[in-house]
Amino acid sequence: MKRESVEEVLRKYGAKIETQINSSGDSKNYSQSYEKFKGEISREYTTYERWANSLGNFIHIKPSKSDEEKMTKSLNSAHLAVEPWQAISLSVMGFLTVFLIGIFISVGITLVSGGIESFPLLFFFLVITFSIFLFYFLNQYPERLANKWRLKASSQMVPAILYIVVYMRHTPNLERAIQFASEHLQYPLALDFKKIFYDVEVGKYSTIKESLDHYLESWRGYSTEFIEGFHLIESSLFEPDSSRRISTLEKGLQVVLDGVYEKMLKFSHSVRSPLTNVYMLGVVLPTLGLALIPLASAMIGGILTYIHVFILFNLIIPFMVFYLTDKVLGMRPGGYGETTLLEKNPLYPRYKSQVHYHKAFWIILPFLILSLIPLIFQFTPIPASLDLAKDFSFSELGLSFLGSGNFFGFISTPTGIKGPFGLGALLLGMLFPLSIAFYFSIAYNGKTKELIIEREKTKELESEFNNSLFQLGNRLGNGVPPELVFGKVAESNRGLRTGEFFGKVNYNIRQMGMSVEKAIFDRTRGAIRFFPSDLIATSMRVLIESSKKGLKIAAVSLMSISEYLKNLDKITMRLRDLLAEITSDMKSNMTFLAPLLSGIVVGLAAMITSILGMLYIANLSGAGATNWGSFNNFLDILQYQDMIPPYFLQISVGIYLIEIIFILTSTLVTINSGEDKLEMTNKVGINLKKGMSLYFIVALLSVVALSILSATVLGNLLG
């Protein structure tokens, strides 16, 4: 027999091998899809890249070797097309730009005013503080993006390992398994997996294994269980026996599950104390301190104004709370959280639409105008054009039981108009923070309502799908072909959402004459189009792939998926219970105790202002002088006209409460679900509605009750 040469063998079998390779998927097109995929999805990073590539090029700052390595790692992890020196240069340029603008404005104000004593010291201090903050923020921004990327990607680790294990049970090919996982995972882990192929295609690495090992190194120190799980999956390829190979694959999945659970268990224990500190330092103590501000401002004679209160409570304290909660979130391990990508939701255009904001604005506009009526009456010509007075006494309005003061309570002083100090202005001012809160609540509810409903339906479907999947695998194992098995499973699940799904597949096969694959995945009539779920789509894809190798293999694959999902559900429920213990207390503090405490404090501040106001009027008129005696000397210390008006104080408290709800809700959602914009937006809207409604009711009742009480008691004392 003539021996064939190497050339003859290549010529004979080359075309056949090429056909098989091409039929299994064009790896070149697949790896090229990485760039397309990145361009379609990761749009939030393009703004930073654009600034870094423009402002970052003005000056070239060479970082130290350690800083460059750290920055390069963060930039690569976040898939940012920015050089390390550009990122550092951007932070320096940001600092210089803000600092120089602040100097020019401050010097300009001084020159216009004509004296060094008019130099805006507070403004200049805030500019310096902001420029320093901007420098550190921009310098740390790549690391923040990398952590954000890892947090979202790590929430998909368990599904990723699950998909690879399920695929490799019937097809021991690591490259195809990773490709399969990347096609059924969502951003950002899918992008990481695509980049593994991309790096091989562009020649950065010579093999998929080398590229994969380099990628896994990026998780070292952050998620060692993910690395161990992948190494076990790789080692399964060298097992000679099929049962040992499958056992090794299952061990890889179990290692990841156990690692995630242990890390979240430690996190749940270590995060309690920091969250308590955040609540006490950022909510309770500042709110209690508010009650003393009116009295303190009256005693120190105009040094403390509402501008200082606004800067303290609406800028400095919220920033401190944000910083502390950001440190808490930095402790959160990955591996558990919401895995779906909001941008891939069919209803995403509704979420992005600006219509909800326009609608919310027109709804709250009347309340916003009502809250500004005290300022409109005092500082605009509108009252004069309507032949109305700028202010009214309580007796003119038939409210003489509230004392002899005015409704808005403005005071004329040698330095100008001060106020409003009146009860009416305070009550109207409560509508200002309420209208802002309801603006976001209405807009966020409109943005997320339908998407949340669809997500709940999908979760309900997936919770039922586990048992149905076992039935499907069991019937396939009994020899029922896929074309017939869907009808039988749909019949046994009648009334459930899974029954509707399988019924739709069965209808497409029997009535529309479709194949099983088209009945499920057809773009116009496929069942998965009406039941969007990554889990179901992946399970059905495994069914189609494995059924090509026989019904027994398909049955084993589906039943193994069912078993994996059952274990995954158990761990998910345990993690949910662990995290619920942490978040439930903080949620009740945020939506109940903080608004309640803030409302009562506003009432106390209003009562102090009311008492000092009536004493001030009595002292001016000489009424009750004999009753008070030497106490009048003490009243001279309290400069009523220099007090912070409760109108502005209440607005600052309300805005502060809104900021706290935003920050703490974002923190709780991230602790519970990882990076989940949809859940965060929805919960912010709900918590704003609950918290600010309670604050408005409590503040209204306490202000009215304590004002009436103080007016009655002092009215009797003053005669």
C-alpha to C-alpha distance for 702 and 157, rounded to whole angstroms: 51
User: Which of 251-255, 292-296, 485-489 is least confident?
Assistant: 292-296
pLDDT recorded at residue 179? 87
pLDDT recorded at residue 209? 87
SS3 438: helix
The distance of Cα 116 from the centroid of its chain, to the nearest Å, equals 45
For 604, the token pair is 């106390």
Across all residues in the chain, what is the average pLDDT?
81
pLDDT recorded at residue 443? 95
For 705, the token pair is 């009750």
Helix ranges restricted to H, 202-241: 208-217, 224-235
Q: Which residues of 256-293 are buried (b: 16+ CB within 10 A; e: fewer)?
A: bbebbbebbeebbeebeeebeebbeebbeebbeebbeb
Beta carbons of 59 and 204 less than 8 angstroms apart: no
User: For the residues 653-658, what does the mean pLDDT come to?
Assistant: 94
User: For the residues 491-514, what does the mean pLDDT come to?
Assistant: 86
Confidence at 340, pLDDT banded by 50, 70, 90: low
User: Which of 11-20, 152-161, 419-428, 700-709 is least confident?
Assistant: 11-20
C-alpha to C-alpha distance for 183 and 161, rounded to whole angstroms: 13
C-alpha to C-alpha distance for 24 and 433, rounded to whole angstroms: 60
Of the candidates 645, 696, 695, 701, the residue with the CA atom closest to the CA atom of residue 408: 645
C-alpha to C-alpha distance for 632 and 618, rounded to whole angstroms: 10
C-alpha to C-alpha distance for 368 and 450, rounded to whole angstroms: 28
Q: Which residues of 536-546 are buried (b: 16+ CB within 10 A; e: fewer)?
A: bbbbbbbbebb
Confidence at 427, pLDDT banded by 50, 70, 90: very high
The distance of Cα 224 from the centroid of its chain, to the nearest Å, equals 26
Backbone angles phi, psi at 477, to 5 degrees: -65, -25
Backbone angles phi, psi at 545, to 5 degrees: -65, -45
C-alpha to C-alpha distance for 175 and 173, rounded to whole angstroms: 6
Cβ burial, residue 80 (10 Å; 0-12/13-18/19+): buried
pLDDT tens digit string along 21-50? 343 444 445 555 555 655 544 444 567 888
The whole model's pTM is what? 0.82
pLDDT recorded at residue 341? 64
pLDDT tens digit string along 369-424? 999 999 998 888 888 888 888 888 877 777 777 767 788 888 887 777 887 888 88
pLDDT recorded at residue 36? 60
Beta carbons of 685 and 445 less than 8 angstroms apart: yes
Q: Name the residue with higher pLDDT: 608 or 100.
A: 100
The distance of Cα 519 from the centroid of its chain, to the nearest Å, equals 37
Beta carbons of 268 and 321 less than 8 angstroms apart: no
pLDDT recorded at residue 637? 65
Backbone angles phi, psi at 412, to 5 degrees: -90, 125
C-alpha to C-alpha distance for 565 and 552, rounded to whole angstroms: 20
Helix (H) or strand (E) holding 259: helix 242-270
Helix ranges restricted to H, 271-354: 272-279, 285-290, 293-299, 306-311, 317-329, 348-352
HSE-up of residue 17 (Cα within 13 Å, Cβ side):
6
DSSP classification of residue 45: G
pLDDT recorded at residue 684? 94
C-alpha to C-alpha distance for 433 and 437, rounded to whole angstroms: 6
**Complete DSSP assignment for 359-406:** HHHHHHHHHHHHHTHHHHHHHSSHHHHTT--S--BTTTTT-GGG-SSB
For 290, the token pair is 């508010």
pLDDT recorded at residue 4? 47
- For the cut 60, the answer to whether the pLDDT of residue 627 exceeds it is no
User: For the residues 645-670, what does the mean pLDDT come to?
Assistant: 92
Beta carbons of 335 and 260 less than 8 angstroms apart: yes
Share of the chain above pLDDT 90, in %: 16
| Residues of the chain by 3-state class (helix, strand, coil), percent to 5 | 80, 0, 20
pLDDT tens digit string along 215-226? 888 888 888 888
Return the number of other C-beta atoms located less than 10 Å from residue 645's C-beta.
25
CB within 8 A of 134, min separation 6: which ones? 91, 94, 95, 98
HSE-up of residue 397 (Cα within 13 Å, Cβ side):
16
Question: CA dist 704 to 294, 377, 610, 707, 710, Å?
Answer: 18, 22, 11, 5, 10
Beta carbons of 675 and 151 less than 8 angstroms apart: yes
Q: Which long-range contacts (CB under 8 A, 24 or more apart) does 577-582 make?
A: 578/264, 578/265, 578/268, 579/264, 579/268, 579/671, 579/672, 581/268, 582/268, 582/271, 582/272, 582/275, 582/671
CB within 8 A of 101, min separation 6: which ones? 127
Q: Where are the domains of the chain?
A: 67-146, 157-269, 271-453+569-718, 454-568
Confidence at 453, pLDDT banded by 50, 70, 90: confident
Of the candidates 356, 361, 535, the residue with the CA atom closest to the CA atom of residue 449: 356
For 500, the token pair is 């509707």
Q: Which residues of 654-663 are buried (b: 16+ CB within 10 A; e: fewer)?
A: bbbbbbbbbb
C-alpha to C-alpha distance for 640 and 652, rounded to whole angstroms: 20
CB within 8 A of 117, min separation 6: which ones? none
Return the number of other C-beta atoms located less than 10 Å from residue 205's C-beta.
17
